[in-house]
A and B are shown apart, each in its own frame.
Chain A
């Protein structure tokens, strides 16, 4: 096991009250594994990854739980100790490249700085490595483009610069928050291919956060589905798509425009809106939007139950004698 997140709880203390953005989530990632997290926008995916990296901004804070990376609790480490791990053993591709690239620095200086902080190599070699990495992520004329400032690059190029930087020190764990949203499908396939190669070569593990269920289906080994800060379903990728259990997961899959659909019908929508985090429905947090909602759902909070590795948090299912039974 490379990373173990145990009962993680992350809160934002605001004047209006406390928002629990990540609510008691637990999962593990093995060496060489690709674990995908999908879920409602605002469900706490990015906050989970920032919590792991120790990069939460105030007023956010980890309010409970453990984050064990190779058996050390990252949450107990000082920022100084974390800095040695970040960008080196664990690195991250941020969701919004513009907020994490420095606008007044050339691309090459940003990547070189990361390389030179963590690797004992000369400036010349760091530059060579930088150009090589830019080439690997498919930036044309990498030696020239290394001199660009972030605003001179297209959205997808900035995203790939982040990827180049994150991979430049051969990390053991890569946290990739929407690494391919700004990429066309051919370059996206190339980046996924690159992640595969890194896993073959260095046994790198990936925590892949994405909205693109096609990418999940092609790249991931296992999938976690989040809703309102909680894990509502977890399964290996084949079971999840063959047999989605949670009504939210089912709704997500139904909402996708199908490429072979020739009708111009409206898309399926899950009814209602994401609840106010300061005013969650009692019981199941999906209950006000769920078509299968029962009496019990608005009164009790369903637990995450597991059978044969497929986990689901919903009263429609009951774990009994090694089987999940549909009510």
Chain B
């Protein structure tokens, strides 16, 4: 599992918030700001971080729903960001996304069976006579039953709709799936089914995942390596056990300390972050976390720390480890 499947280099996505009367941008929101990392073939790369830090935006760039402001994306060694629209489209099937908001991403006028069948038919993956069997197989895979095939999305609960989204992504047999909060709408028993399913598919077909989630226990279970984002930047990347046992960046430390525990008798010691949540519109100069950091040094305000490898495979962006 050392072959690189996807490599991202200095990737940025800026949104223009206001323009002046000439159309010149007045304020720019840096949703993703010079992010670099690799995803190896067959691994699950977990991505965690503060709400609004740019995880979904990053995922949407990888599946070509947003075009990056700058930076490069390589997939199987090929530079996707250098391809034209038509060439790029031939990679769309290989990189699929399971969306965070299942309701907004399912066509309300199609039955769920047709929603799953559509990408199979469009991409000509199976002879028409075999499509239906495949649809039922996929429904079963995600814990839905044959009798639900002809229902419409609004007839399902939130968690059930999320499973339809997962089945649709699996339908085209992609190589990489960007899973954006795929299980947070599910109860823990179905969550277990879906996580086991994702694990099986990974083992069986060598599928690779970029797994975005807030549930740190879920991320630990499913991932091989984990990246931590804060305000558009990657703050730390490490193999999962290393990250959970030995978090280096103070933001990672605060995040791990806030995991709720299932024991009402026990109260946990939390690192409470001071200060206001900074905005990606006017991010603090220097380290993005410095306005809330509890270990801040003088130089943190002045210049941004680079992501550096401080021990084998453990990368951190923080001046404490210069």
B56 contacts chain A at the CB level, 8 A cutoff: yes
B158 contacts chain A at the CB level, 8 A cutoff: yes
A258 and B145: CB pair below 8 A? no
Pick from A40, A184, A266: contact of B49, CB under 8 Å: A184
Q: Enumerate chain A residues within 8 angstroms of B156, measured Cβ to Cβ.
A: 42
B192 and A269: CB pair below 8 A? yes
A189 and B187: CB pair below 8 A? no
Chain A CB within 10 A, most for which of B189, B216, B270, B276:
B189
Map CB proximity to B onto A252-285 as digits: 1 under 8 Å, 0 otherwise.
Answer: 1101111101100011111001101011000000
A292 contacts chain B at the CB level, 8 A cutoff: no
Q: Which of A46-75 contact B (CB under 8 A)?
A: 46, 57
- A291, chain B: closest CB distance, angstroms: 13
Pick from B27, B50, B159, B217: contact of A184, CB under 8 Å: B50
Pick from B51, B255, B278: contact of A157, CB under 8 Å: B51
A38 and B187: CB pair below 8 A? yes
Map CB proximity to A onto B183-212 as digits: 1 under 8 Å, 0 otherwise.
Answer: 011111111110110010000000000000
B110 contacts chain A at the CB level, 8 A cutoff: no
- B106, chain A: closest CB distance, angstroms: 11
- B201, chain A: closest CB distance, angstroms: 13
Q: Which of B273-302 contact A (CB under 8 A)?
A: 273, 276-282
A42 and B159: CB pair below 8 A? yes
B15 and A185: CB pair below 8 A? no
A138 contacts chain B at the CB level, 8 A cutoff: yes
Pick from A95, A185, A261, A268: contact of B192, CB under 8 Å: A268
A98 and B214: CB pair below 8 A? no
B258 and A185: CB pair below 8 A? yes
B125 contacts chain A at the CB level, 8 A cutoff: no
**In the complex with contacts A183-B214, A184-B50, A214-B260, A155-B189 CB distance below 8 A:** no
Q: Enumerate chain A residues within 8 angstroms of B187, measured Cβ to Cβ.
A: 38-41, 211, 252
- B232, chain A: closest CB distance, angstroms: 11
**In the complex with contacts A155-B51, A187-B50, A217-B260, A181-B184 CB distance below 8 A:** yes
Q: Enumerate chain B residues within 8 angstroms of A273, measured Cβ to Cβ.
A: 143, 145
Size class of B's contact patch? 35 or more
Pick from B17, B214, B217: contact of A188, CB under 8 Å: B214
Q: Which of B166-187 contact A (CB under 8 A)?
A: 181, 184-187
B147 contacts chain A at the CB level, 8 A cutoff: yes
B143 and A184: CB pair below 8 A? no
B188 and A256: CB pair below 8 A? yes
Pick from B101, B181, B220: contact of A98, CB under 8 Å: B101
Chain A contact residue count (CB 8 A cutoff): 66
Q: Enumerate chain A residues within 8 angstroms of B195, measured Cβ to Cβ.
A: 257, 267
Closest A residue to B224 by beta carbon equals: A264
B48 contacts chain A at the CB level, 8 A cutoff: yes
Q: Which of A159-185 contact B (CB under 8 A)?
A: 160, 178, 181-185
A122 contacts chain B at the CB level, 8 A cutoff: no
- B279, chain A: closest CB distance, angstroms: 4
Closest B residue to A221 by beta carbon equals: B264
Closest A residue to B219 by beta carbon equals: A257
- B261, chain A: closest CB distance, angstroms: 6
Chain B CB within 10 A, most for which of A252, A267, A274:
A267
A29 to B91, CA, bound (A): 53
A25 contacts chain B at the CB level, 8 A cutoff: no
B262 and A181: CB pair below 8 A? no
A278 to B147, CA, bound (A): 10
A259 and B157: CB pair below 8 A? no
User: What 11 additional pairs, Cβ within 8 angstroms, besides A160-B51, A188-B214?
Assistant: A99-B103, A144-B27, A144-B281, A153-B52, A184-B48, A213-B188, A214-B260, A217-B264, A218-B261, A273-B145, A276-B147
Chain A residues with a Cβ under 8 A of chain B = 38-42, 46, 57, 95-99, 138-141, 144-145, 152-157, 160, 178, 181-189, 211-215, 217-218, 237-238, 241-242, 251-253, 255-259, 261-262, 266-270, 273-274, 276, 278-279
Q: Could you name 7 residue pairs across A and B whose Cβ atoms are closer than 8 Å?
A: A41-B158, A42-B157, A46-B157, A140-B278, A256-B192, A259-B244, A279-B147
Ordered nearest first, which 4 A-B pairs have the shortest CB separation? A156-B51, A41-B159, A214-B260, A140-B279
